[in-house]
Amino acid sequence: MRKRNYIIFLLVSATLASCTRRETLEDLTPRPNILWISAEDLSPRMAAYGDSTVATPNLDRLANEGVVYDHAYTSAGVCAPSRNAIITGRYQISNGGHNMRTLYSTYPEKTGLPKSYNSVPPAGVKLFPEYLRAAGYYTSNNIKTDYQFEAPVTVWDEVSDQADWRGREDGQPFFSVINFTTTHESQIWARADHKMRADPAKVPLPPYYPDNEISRTDVARHYSNLSELDDQIGEVLSKLEEDGLLENTIIFFWGDHGDGLPFYKREVYKRGLHIPLIARFPNKIKAGTRDNTFINAIDFAPTMLSLAGIETPQNMQGKAFLGEYKSATDHEYIFGARDRLDSKYDRVRSAMDRQYQYVRNFQPEKPLYMDIEYRKNMPMMQMILEKKEAGELNEDQLFWFKETKPAEELYDLREDPYQLHNLADNPEHLETLERFRAVMDQWLAEIEDLGAIDEKEMVKNMWNGSDQPPHTAKPVVYQAGDKTTISCMTSGASIAYREAGKKRWEVYQNELTLETGTYETTAMRVGYEPSEISIFEVK
C-alpha cells in the first residue's frame, strides 16, 4: 500500500512540476513568427527606460510582458547608413553605405557625385530576409527600406503601405517589418498642429539647449509624437491578437538611431546611437526582465537568423544575441561612424565601453557642427543659430559650435552623461586613452573602413572603373532530364525564378524539379543593376 501511495505521490509531483515550470527561450518553436515594429529618430525616452514624461501604455505592455535591453546601439546616428548596417549585419563603412545618402540625391552640384548610386558591398553579402525566405518564411516590409541600395527580388514577398503577415499562406512562418515615421525629425514641424500630449513646462532639457519656450515646445512635440506612435503600436498589437498570433510571434520594437533633435541625430556620441530595444516572446517568456547585453544593431540580422535556426553567415560582422546560434560573448565595445551628411563631409569614428566613449576626428580642422539645411526647418534649430550669432549662448550651448575640434575626445559617461568635458588631454586618463586608440586602430583594420577612401574614387571602384553602374549577368539555365539548374556568372548574385504570369519570385538555391510550363529567372548582386529576365520552358 505504501508503495502504491509513493507512486501516486511521484505522479502528482511530476504533474505539478510540469504545470508550474517556467518556459524558457529554448522552448520557442522552430521557425517562429517574427514581427519588427521600428521607429525613426527615437532615443530610449519611454517609461521602460525611466522616462515617464508622456504615457506609453502599449510600449509599457511590451516591456512588462517582455525583455528590455538597456544597451542597444546603432552604428550610425542617421537613418540610411544605420539601415544599411542593420539589413546586412555588417558595418556600413564595410559596405560602402556610410554616406548619407547614396540613393535619391547625393547633392551632385556640390559633391561631384552621380545623383544617385547603389552602394556595393562585397560579393556574397545578402540582405538577411533573403535567408529567411529561402527557409520558407513569408517576408514583408511596411514600407521603408532606405538601405543605400535597391533590394533584389529575392528579399521580400511584399513591400507596400499595406504589407503585413496576412499575405502569407496558411501556417507559413513570417518575418514582417512595420516601420513608423511618427517620431521622425521632420514630424516636429510637420505635426505642429496636432494636439500637444506633453506639458512643455515639464519636459527635460539637456544643458546644450537654451531653456525657453521654443526649445520646450519642440521637445514636447517630440514626446507627443512618441505618444502618437504608442497608439499606432497598440493598433498593430490588436491586429496580431485579432489574428490569434500574439502568442505565436516574437515582437521586437526598436529605433533606427537616437532622437531627431539638435545635437542628437547625426552624431556618434552615445545619445546619437543609443536606441530602445524591447522584445516580447510567446507566452510572455522572461516577462518583465532586463538584459544588460552590449548590442549593436548589426546584431539584429544574425539574431533573426539564429531564432529561425539559421547559422550566421561568415561575412556578417554582427553577433546573434538570441536563438540556436547565440554568440558565447557579447561586444566589449560599441563602434559608430559618421561620414558625408547631405553635401557636407566629416569623417568621425567612435568606440564605447560601459564607462567611456572615445571619439576620433579625422578632420579636426572642421567645426563639430555640420550646417545641414534640412534640420533648419526645426524652430529650435533656427532659434539656436540666431542666439549663436547674437552671442547669447552659454559655454555648454556653444560646445557644438567651436571653429575646430580636437583630434581625439574621451568622455566618462558615468560622470559626464552629456559628454561636455573632454578628458583626452587629462594625464590621469592617458592609460584609458591609449587603450581606446589601440582598440580603434584594430577595429578599423579588421573591418576595412571604406570611409578612408574619397567617395568619388570609391564609387569608381564599386563600378569596376566604369562611369556606369555594373549590371548583373543574365542567368543561364541548364536542363537535364527533369532537373533544372540555374547559374549566374556574377559572383555573389542572388537568383530568382517563377512560373510565367505569377507575381511572386522564388529564391533559387539548388537544382529544381519543375512542373511542365513556362518560367522566368533573373539575378541581382546587391548594389548592381538587376539582370535581364530569362524565359525558359520545362517540357
Q: Which amino acid is at 401?
A: F
**What are the DSSP calls for 111-133, one per residue?**
H-S-SS----PPTT---HHHHHH
Closest CA to 256 of 410, 414, 82: 82
Which residue in 37, 46, 78, 79 is the catalytic one? Answer: 79
Is residue 255 classed as helix, strand or coil in its secondary structure? strand
**Left if phi > 0, otherwise alpha if psi is -120 to 50, otherwise beta: which for 89?**
left
Closest CA to 259 of 245, 249, 269: 269
- DSSP element (H, E) containing 73: strand 67-73
Quick check: 366 and 442 in contact, CB under 8 A? no
State the Cα–Cα distance between residues 383 and 393, nearest whole angstrom.
11
Q: Which amino acid is at 30?
A: P
State the Cα–Cα distance between residues 473 and 457, nearest whole angstrom.
24
Quick check: 275 and 40 in contact, CB under 8 A? no
> In three state form, how does the secondary structure of 392-407 look?
CCCHHHHHHHCCCCCC
Cell of 355: 564607462
Burial of 186 (0-12, 13-18, 19+ CB in 10 A): middle
**What are the DSSP calls for 517-538, one per residue?**
EEEEEEEE-TTSBPPPPEEEEE
Cell of 539: 517540357
Closest CA to 372 of 359, 389, 385: 385
For residue 353, count other CB atoms closer than 10 A to its CB: 17
Determine the distance from the C-alpha atom of residue 286 to the mean position of all C-alpha atoms in its chain, rounded to a whole number. 24
Dihedral angle, C-alpha 458, 460, 461, 462, nearest 10 °: 90
Q: Which amino acid is at 468?
A: Q
For 112-196, where are the alpha helices, taking DSSP H only?
Answer: 128-134, 187-190
Instruction: Note if 19 is an active site residue.
Output: no
Cell of 496: 530568382
Active site positions, annotated: 79
